[in-house]
């Protein structure tokens, strides 16, 4: 009986996880194009500059002005990732 | 005795917290609250016994300054070559090799902002730089910070020069990269070699650039401490005039 329950749970879980899989709704190629566009938008060009500047400004605001050092450091690292991540992704993965 | 005199006397009864093992400050905020305690006790002209700040207390306070500056130093050592690379148009920023003035300014800001931010946080205690004991505590904090900064300069200088002279030697680098030949194509290895050789001169510039950012980290808190302590002195004088 226990084995049957476990099997039943397993089947349900698999179905729920299937719903979360984006490849159920779109093809692999389409998904790759969307992700590529997302990376290009976030890590390159105008939006990356805006996001990185906002992160750096907020890092100073939270870290220095509000003295919430943890939030300041996290935002600072986010600014670094946005600034240099695009170049790194291009070099390593050709995105 | 008038009620006002009684009020004044009760206002001066502030017991500052000494730095002991039980109240060992772990973060900068802990040190600020200790210095704040000294400041409040000394604010109205009371003199505290100088041995309230023991040798252990001095070391613990300077340790906090040292730790903060050490973290900032590690970040600055890692980021400086990237910043110099952007300024010398070797490393892409925002995924592009077309560098605008904004890109270069942002790379510079990103590199110095951690040191600058930490300097500004330390500078917030400048308003307590008044009494004898609070001055001594801040001096010890700054001494810890300066020691870490000096160490950072030495480490950065040795590390960058070692990478330039020993690690990124053309023959050694080529020999090392060729070990990956069976798994990685020759074209990719050649590209990595070119990138590394282009990156090499950046290290020497970075070694000197670190000195500049370190000076900023030491000077900024002192400048702010000087001005904010003057402002506090003026405020205290004004308060005394109105009493």
Is A69 an 8 Å CB contact of chain B? yes
| Token duo for residue B217 | 């980290």
**In chain A, which residues have their Cβ closer than 8 Å to the Cβ of B104?**
none
Where exactly are the structural domains of chain A? 27-93
Q: Which parts of chain B sit beneath pLDDT 70?
A: 1-25, 243
Alpha-carbon distance of B26 to B32, in angstroms, equals 11
Do residue B107 and residue A69 have CB atoms under 8 angstroms apart? Answer: no
Write down the number of H helices and E strands in chain B: 7, 0
Q: How confident is the model at residue A2 (pLDDT cuts 50, 70, 90)?
A: low
B87 touches B108 (CB < 8 A): yes
Domain tally, chain B:
1
pLDDT of residue B9: 45
Q: Which range of residues forms the domain containing residue B184?
A: 3-242
The answer to whether ipTM exceeds 0.90 is no
pLDDT of residue A95: 64
Please determine, for residue A53, whether its predicted confidence score (pLDDT) is greater than 90.
Answer: yes
pLDDT of residue B34: 86
Do residue B79 and residue A59 have CB atoms under 8 angstroms apart? Answer: no
In total, chain A counts a number of residues equal to: 95
Choose among A40, A64, A90: nearest Cβ to B92: A90
Please determine, for residue A74, whether its predicted confidence score (pLDDT) is greater than 90.
Answer: yes
- pLDDT, tens digit, 9 for 90 and up, residues B19-57: 555 566 677 778 888 888 888 888 777 777 777 888 888
pLDDT of residue B188: 82
Smallest CA–CA distance from A86 into chain B, residue: B95
Backbone phi and psi for residue B99, each to the nearest 5 degrees, phi listed first: -90, 125
């Amino acid at each position: 009986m226990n084995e049957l329950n476990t099997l039943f749970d397993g089947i349900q879980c698999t179905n729920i996880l299937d719903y979360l899989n984006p490849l159920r709704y779109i093809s692999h190629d389409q998904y790759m194009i969307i992700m590529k566009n997302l990376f290009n938008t976030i890590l390159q060009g105008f939006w990356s500059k805006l996001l990185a500047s906002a992160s750096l400004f907020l890092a100073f605001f939270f870290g220095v002005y509000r003295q919430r050092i943890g939030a300041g450091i996290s935002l600072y690292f986010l600014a670094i990732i946005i600034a240099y991540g695009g170049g790194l992704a291009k070099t390593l993965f050709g995105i | 005795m008038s009620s006002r005199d009684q009020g004044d006397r009760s206002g001066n009864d502030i017991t500052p917290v000494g730095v002991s093992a039980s109240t060992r400050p772990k973060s900068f905020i802990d040190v600020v609250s200790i210095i704040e305690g000294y400041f409040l006790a000394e604010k109205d002209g009371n003199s505290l016994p100088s041995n309230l700040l023991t040798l252990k207390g001095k070391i613990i306070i300077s340790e906090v300054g040292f730790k903060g500056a050490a973290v900032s130093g590690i970040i600055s050592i890692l980021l400086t070559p990237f910043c110099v690379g952007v300024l010398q148009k070797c490393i892409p920023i925002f995924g592009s090799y077309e560098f605008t003035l904004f890109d270069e300014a942002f790379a510079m800001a990103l590199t110095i902002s951690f040191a600058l931010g930490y300097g500004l946080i330390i500078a917030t205690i400048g308003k307590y730089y008044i009494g004898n004991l609070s001055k001594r505590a801040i001096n010890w904090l700054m001494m810890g910070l300066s020691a870490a900064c000096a160490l950072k300069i030495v480490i950065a200088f040795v590390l960058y020069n070692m990478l330039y002279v020993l690690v990124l030697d053309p023959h050694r680098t080529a020999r090392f990269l060729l070990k990956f030949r069976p798994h990685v194509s020759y074209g990719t290895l050649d590209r990595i070699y070119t990138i590394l050789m282009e990156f090499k001169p950046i290290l020497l510039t970075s070694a000197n650039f670190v000195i500049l950012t370190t000076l900023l980290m030491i000077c900024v808190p002192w400048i702010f401490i000087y001005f904010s302590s003057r402002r506090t002195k003026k405020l205290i004088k004004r308060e005394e005039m109105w009493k």
